[in-house]
Amino acid sequence: MEAKYDFERKYREQILQCSRCGFCQSVCPVYGATLRPALNARGKMLLLKEVMDGKIELGKELIDSLFQCTTCASCANNCPSGVNVPEIIKQVRKDMVNIGSCHPAFAGMNEVLQKSTNIYAEDELPDFDRKRDQKAAYVYFIGCVGAYREDEATEGALDLLDRLSVDYTLISEVCCSGVLEDVGYSLNPKLASQNLERIFATGAKTVITGCPYCYRTFTHRQEYDELRKRGITVLHISQFLKDLDFGVTTDKKVTYHDPCDLGRHCGIYEEPRATIRKIAPDFVEMQHHHADSLCCGAGGGVRGAYAKNSLAMARRRLKEAEDTGAEILLTECNSCVHNLANAKLRKQNIKIYNTTAFINELMTKKVRNK
Amino acid sequence: MEIQGYTLPDELYYEENHYWVKEEGDLLVMGMDDFAQKMAGEIVFVQLPEEGKELTAGKKFAKIESGKWLGKVFAPVNGELAAVNEELETNPGLINSDCYGKGWIYKIKPSDKGEVANLIHGKEAVEKWVLAEIEKYAKE
Amino acid sequence: MDEKLKNGLIGIVGAENYSEDLIDMVSYSYDASQHSARPLCVVWPQNAEQVSRLMVFANETHVPVIPRGAGTGLSGMAVPIKGGIVLDLSHMNKILMISIEDRLVIVEPGVVYANLEKGLAAYGFFFPPDPASGKVSTLGGNVATNAGGVKGAKYGTTRDYVLALQVVLPDGRVMRTGSRAMKSVSGYDLTRLFVGSEGTLGVVTEITLKINPRPTATSTASATFGNLEDAGRAVSQIMHSGIIPSVLEILGKETILAINKNTDLNLPEVEAMLLAETDGYTKGETEYQMAKVTEVFARNNALEIKQAKSDEEAINLWKARKSAYAVLARIKTHFVLEDVTVPMGKVADLLKGIEAISRKHDIQIATFGHAGDGNLHPQILYDGYNPEDVKKMEAASADLFALAISLHGTLTGEHGIGLSKAPFMTLEHDPAAMNVMRSLKRMFDPNNILNPGKMALDDAGGPASEPGIHG
């Protein structure tokens, strides 16, 4: 039988390799929040198998399963059969967009990024009262969530860089557009080259990203190969911080949430912890951490398309954080901070920060107390 | 009153970013108007700051988010936050289902109640304002 | 979809706990077996009262009801072969009580095994029967299938721990069986009747389980053997050496070769490998037991014996066994994981027989399993899209079952009958036994609405037919 879709051409063997053992159910954040097996990896692979077998049509009826995946990769990490679910999901979403069965939240997302410079179609990139596009040793690349949704977190990070006298500049950044790959489209090379041009113009040898997804895009995607060719290092801010001294500590109990894009997708687990251990002697891990970390629920477009379930996922993660007895939950991803903070109920006392913003707050207090 | 499918009760005061205000004893109750909740779509998150937060007229004090949009909430008057609708934490959709009733958002203790006079009020003024808004958003 | 049926169900569980969406219907068509069939709809009941009302309604309308836990079963027992309503019990997932004083727990059926374990670990207790799917499987499912696991030889299976049940009968009556007492000889053992009944007699809505203090020390060792007789004899000698290892696992040659091909574990490519764990409360205790085990290994011509000196070394020894399933799952597009079980003394015969069957049908069968309780997992690897391969697999399965029965064993040690082994029921059970089982089914479920089509209970022509015809 002739393969009808790209997902089939690329991943047929892998999809058939799913033995339906259901082990993914224990780690899938979407299942954890909904208890609906149609939404975990096994449910998705079964749908694709039936599409390939000609039993059902790839179409709108499948959207609520195939678009409800945070691409957190927990399933792939725990799959005895080695099925790389996030990659399959990304491909099938492209196929669905091609046949006009895209989730309405992402319909036209491609066009948004043809016209606009960011995923939210906001008009103006905030400058955070700083000059942009200067000559500097470092470029700080904020990312859309940090720029348009988590301004306080971003201010914290920038203030910290200032305090540490880092020679950095912001740029007139546009969306790295890596996220398009998650919701059925392809990275936009025009946006990539705009970012590259502006980075090169600063003369910086290092790009620091605030966003794990931008980091992932810059380091993994060929559209950004030019960075490597020119010997420009890309660091996520958590990597940049690990060798620095801050001269502050907190006596509060602290825990850390691994962002999926930083942890499972890029293998960055220890650098953020090295930094946190320096400032928080009373550091504890949650039940799920490192490669087993539980997704906050924001990724893969789920926050945009399925906000209610996305927040329910964040509430499960917050519960784990609270169960450690920690007063402070740190992470280093604006999407995670955004979703976790939104999910927090008023009666919950735990405070949620990016590590950068938290260190900045400690340093601000120290200066004030002097 | 109903304007092109949007309900805007006559007795309310309106802040220009589409939040309504009404008097309730010493306090002012505030919520999102029907035009805004329809434009925003399903509301998924409402920031509910601590009671006692100081408010400056015209200054942002909270955020509201729908699936496709992030809105800033500006203080309609000077004063302090007296109460918030905690129901919205787990059920922000109340703003969509009942924006003038169960979907109320904040209660404010105004420094000077008279400041409500600065808001849009009265059938004629509201109608003129909303029609202009409809036209503005239609262009976008 | 019949509107009356739909409205009736929504009236009981609420619209948010009802679905007939295609995505749900596809997902509830399957479990971990090769079978599939579409249900009409799914409901997610929240409590026993809703389950009871659902059963009354289904019984009146004669629509099949298929109770379901995590759907990790390997025999098709949760596959809605006659259509109907899937009753997904995973929303009823509260641990209702942990009583260390009475050494028991009371749980709802949707509690995941691993979550109970996590809850008990805090008290230094555990619930021993741990199926390989324990991270996902629900206790309701474990009870309905009498789940086993690697610790069967020492700790038994789920059956040995169920003290009491609350069951909703097919006509909607709610029945309590058993008590919280550790011993009870009061009337027929209705509790045990439901354990392993595969959701054909009633819907379990509350489970009282005995729990054990958690051993705090373990010792681990492995041994390789140049022939199956030596390995088999070692197994039975260990079991009558006076000690009972907490785990005694075997890997056959095909499995070892597959592991070597797909990992960098570099196992010696021998005929069989045994892995043993002893447990207790002091290192002295577990080492003493392990010395006896390794002595038996040596006496039976073990080629190489390794004993773990640290937790890390123990983890390394277990790596081979733990990787078996994942490795074998990747070799062909399809596999059937059997669980034939024989008396301990016949493990070597079973292993040799499996090899012969593999050669006879020219199909790859890799074996591993729980040697300590005679429960082996021959995994038949095949391409489900190749009709020739499917025929070979079916023929090999049939031979396997015949072999197990000829060795005085059973078709299934822990995976259950479901659909996969229903055609072979009469191989193991005589006409009188089949007759009694079918009579029991009809007495509990005269309209045959509860998980119909399973365990060869009604395939003699449905509920109205005379018993015994099939036998």
Which residues between 42 and 81 in chain A have a beta carbon less than 8 angstroms from any beta carbon of chain C?
A: 42-43, 46-47, 50, 56, 61-62, 64-65, 80-81
Domain count, chain B: 1
Assess if residue B99 is contained within a domain.
Answer: yes
Please report whether residue B105 resides in a domain: yes
Q: In this structure, is residue B135 part of a structural domain? A: no
Distance CA C73, CA C93 (A): 19
Q: Which helix (H) or strand (E) holds A55?
A: none
Is A96's Cβ below 8 Å from some Cβ in C? no
Nearest to B86 among A120, A342, A346 (CB): A346
Q: Which residues in chain A have their CB less than 8 angstroms from residue C23's CB?
A: 38-39, 43, 47, 61-62, 64-65
Structural domain includes residue B94: yes
pTM (global) more than 0.90: yes
B70/A311 CB distance under 8 A: no
Q: Identify all chain B residues contacting A106, using CB atoms and an 8 Å cutoff.
A: none
Q: Cβ(C238)–Cβ(C248) under 8 Å? A: yes
Residue B98 falls within a domain, yes or no?
yes
CB A339 within 8 A of CB A296: yes
Judge whether B68 is closer than 8 Å to chain A, CB to CB.
yes
Q: Which two tokens stand for residue B63?
A: 């955020």
Q: Is B103 contained in some domain?
A: yes
The answer to whether residue C460 scores a pLDDT higher than 60 is: no
Confirm if A180 and A144 have CB atoms less than 8 A apart.
no
Domain containing B98 — which CATH number?
Answer: 2.40.50.100
For residue B89, the distance in angstroms to the closest alpha carbon of chain A comes to 6
Sign, CA torsion B52/B56/B59/B65:
positive
Provide block-wise average pLDDT over 10 residues at a time, chain B (140 residues): 91 94 95 93 92 94 85 93 95 95 96 92 92 84
For chains B and C, tell me whether 3 or more CB atom pairs sit within 8 A of each other: no
| Residues on chain C touching A64 (C-beta within 8 angstroms) | 21, 23
* Neighbour count for residue C343 (Cβ, 10 Å): 15
Domain membership flag for residue B43: yes
Residues in A closer than 8 angstroms to C88, CB to CB, are 35, 37
Residue contact A23–C88, C-beta within 8 A: no
The angle formed by the CA atoms of residues C275, C281 and C284, to the nearest 5 degrees, is 75
β-strands C272-280, B13-15 pairing: unpaired
The nearest alpha carbon in chain C to A57 belongs to C22
The reported pLDDT for the residue numbered C263 is 84
Q: Report the relative pairing of strands B106-110 and C304-307 from DSSP bridges.
A: unpaired
* Set of chain B residues whose Cβ sits within 8 Å of the Cβ of A313: none
pLDDT tens-digit map of B51-92:
999 999 999 999 999 877 788 899 999 999 999 999 999 999
Which residues, in sequence order, are bridge partners of residue C410? C341
pLDDT tens across the length of chain A (370 residues): 678 999 999 999 999 999 999 999 999 999 999 999 999 999 999 999 999 999 999 999 999 999 999 999 999 999 998 999 999 999 999 999 999 999 998 887 888 888 888 888 888 999 999 999 999 999 999 999 999 989 999 999 999 999 999 999 999 999 999 999 999 999 999 999 999 999 999 999 999 999 999 999 999 999 999 999 999 999 999 999 999 999 999 999 999 999 999 999 999 999 999 999 999 999 999 999 999 999 999 999 999 899 999 999 999 999 999 999 999 999 999 999 999 999 999 999 999 999 999 999 999 998 888 7
Region of B20 on the Ramachandran plot (φ > 0 left; ψ -120 to 50 alpha; else beta): beta
User: Which among C438, C441, C440 has a CA at the least distance from the CA of C425?
Assistant: C438
Specify the pLDDT at position B136: 86
* pLDDT of the residue at A1: 63
**What is the share, in percent, of chain C residues with pLDDT greater than 90?**
89
Phi-psi category of residue B5: left, alpha or beta, with phi > 0 → left and psi -120 to 50 → alpha: left
Per-residue model confidence (pLDDT) at position B140: 64
User: Above 50 in pLDDT, residue C73?
Assistant: yes
Examine residue B92 and state whether it is found in any structural domain, yes or no: yes
Please give the helix or strand (H or E) that residue C65 lies within, else none. strand C65-68
Structural domain containing residue B57: 2-130
Which of B39, B43, B70, B87 to mutate against chain A (most A CBs within 10 Å)? B70
Tell whether B74 lies on the interface with A, counting CB pairs under 8 A: no
